[in-house]
A = this chain, B = another copy of it.
Amino acid sequence: MSKQELPVVDLNPVACCSPIAVRPMDADQAAVVAPLFKALGDPVRLRLMSMIASVPEICVCDLTPAFDLSGPTISHHLKLLREAGLVDSERRGTWVWYRARPEAFRQLGALLDISGTPAGA
């Protein structure tokens, strides 16, 4: 191997990790963060996420008809987004309402920040 040295930088104390272009992620951090990206890695979930995040809150009854998919399938995807911590849900009467969790987005956005890094140059 080339014996190249990888940079070693302290963790950002606020969020989970430094931007991925600042220092190499260790296995534990990757295991925490990868599921968040994975949750957004399906076109249906990405659209759901986008529909939810573009309004203060939205009813499942407004999400389902936007897709050519069965109700249970949409419900399944929403569950994955919930388990990833990207959205919150709340039942109010007959309907269930979903809201985005901004912290998760801020964390993911921060991870992708490449300004002032080797990759950003």
Contact B50 A20 (CB under 8 A): yes
Residue among B23, B54, B66, B106 making CB contact with A22, cutoff 8 Å:
B54
Are B43 and A27 in contact (CB-based, < 8 A)? yes
Residues of B within 8 A of A59 (CB): 1-2, 4
Given the interface pairs A4-B58, A6-B55, the reply to whether A37 lies near B40 with Cβ below 8 Å is yes
A50-B62 contact, Cβ under 8 Å, with A55-B118, A102-B120: no
Chain A residues 15-55 with CB under 8 Å of chain B are 20-27, 30-31, 33-35, 37-47, 49-55
Q: A1-B61, A43-B30, A102-B114 are in contact. Are A53 and B109 (CB under 8 A)?
A: no
Are B21 and A54 closer than 8 Å at their CB atoms? yes
Do A50 and B37 touch across chains, with their CB atoms under 8 A apart?
A: no
Interface membership of A119, Cβ < 8 A = yes
Of B1, B23, B33, B54, which contacts A46 at CB under 8 A? B33
In the complex, are the beta carbons of B114 and A21 less than 8 A apart? no
